[in-house]
Amino acid sequence: MRRPSTPMKIYGVDFTSAPKPSKPLTLARCLLEGETLRVLRLEKLVSFAEFEQVLAGPGPWAMGIDCPFGQPRRLIQDLAWPSDWRRYVDLIESMGKEAFEKTLRNYGKRLYRCTDRLSRSRSPMQLDFIPVGKMFFQAAPMLLRSGATIIPCLPGDPHRLVVEAYPKLVVKALNGNAPYKSDTKKKQSLEHIGVRRQVVERIASHETYGFRVEWTDSLAAQAIDDPSGDILDAVLCAMQTAWAWQQRGNGYGVPQDCDPAEGWIIDPANWWRRGRPDARTR
């Protein structure tokens, strides 16, 4: 008989580089029980201080955040930054926001981490349009200060685990490359709404990542109605985090040859392409 697993608190965070009431961080608080991920509630965090309070909360919990945790190894070497994650994050924070952004712009080109190439995600150096470089600058020092375990960048409190998520990979697995976000309700199309509805229905109807998502009709409706996709993204980040927790015996889904200075986007697609022992022979 299969022994029931201990329930685990799972958090998913849709991150932003400048939280405010009109564009907060979105936090999905969930509970993984066996083969069900229950969405308990959604929260809007309008300041980094609120986010750091969540990071400091007692474990056990695992959290997935939709922002890059590291920079490309080539950039680190070219700029003569310290080679390990803790030290170069410390250095970047001491530089200040303006100097950091100026450094990236003066570098003259965008580089990609190994995990970015596999995920087809944006360069963590990108500062405009979707400013994931600014997200990195804000998030990485807070993660370092939290004392949590930052997978795979830095060991810390084993009862507080943080992974890098990328919800677009979940949407792609379920619905291809169909767009599901827009700036405002006025700009969104019926296609955006339809894709969000399909994703919500599919994650609730079968075990997408080894478990099914269970949430109230009210919470599901909020995710469908949200044109920004932030609510849905927070839940999808929680799904990737729950999958990582299930893979804790396999390095949380991170390949053994991963560069901890760069970080790793957690998702079964990336594990299949790179992390599995036989992946390089395929």
pLDDT at 1: 37
What's the mean pLDDT in 66-83?
98
Res. 278 pLDDT band, cuts 50 70 90:
very low
**Listing from the earlier edge strand, what are the strands of the sheet with 8-14?**
148-150, 157-164, 61-65, 8-14, 25-33, 36-45, 212-214
* CA-based radius of gyration for the chain: 18
Give residue 231's pLDDT.
Answer: 97
Cα distances from 112 to residues 7, 33, 45, 118, 247, in angstroms, run: 36, 36, 29, 10, 25
pLDDT in tens, 223-273: 999 999 999 999 999 999 999 999 999 999 999 999 999 999 999 998 877
Q: Where are the domains of the chain?
A: 1-169+230-274
- Across the range 151-157, mean pLDDT stands at 98
pLDDT band at residue 23, thresholds of 50, 70 and 90?
very high
3-state class of 37 per DSSP? strand
Q: Is 130 left (phi over 0), alpha (psi -120 to 50) or beta?
A: beta
Whole-number Å distance between alpha carbons of 214 and 39: 6
Give me the pLDDT at residue 184, please: 63
What confidence score (pLDDT) does residue 185 get? Answer: 62
* Alpha carbons 278 and 101: distance in angstroms, whole number: 40
Q: Is 97 helix (H, G, I), strand (E, B) or coil?
A: helix
Q: What's the confidence (pLDDT) of residue 94?
A: 98
Q: What is the chain's mean pLDDT, rounded?
A: 92
Is residue 63 pLDDT above 80, yes or no?
A: yes
Residue 103 burial by Cβ neighbours in a 10 Å radius (0-12, 13-18, 19+): middle
Report the predicted TM-score, pTM, of the whole model to 2 decimal places. Answer: 0.93
- Higher pLDDT among residues 202 and 275, named by residue: 202
What is d(CA 90, CA 195) in angstroms, rounded to the nearest whole number?
40
Largest CA distance in the chain: 60
pLDDT at 19 (0 to 100): 97
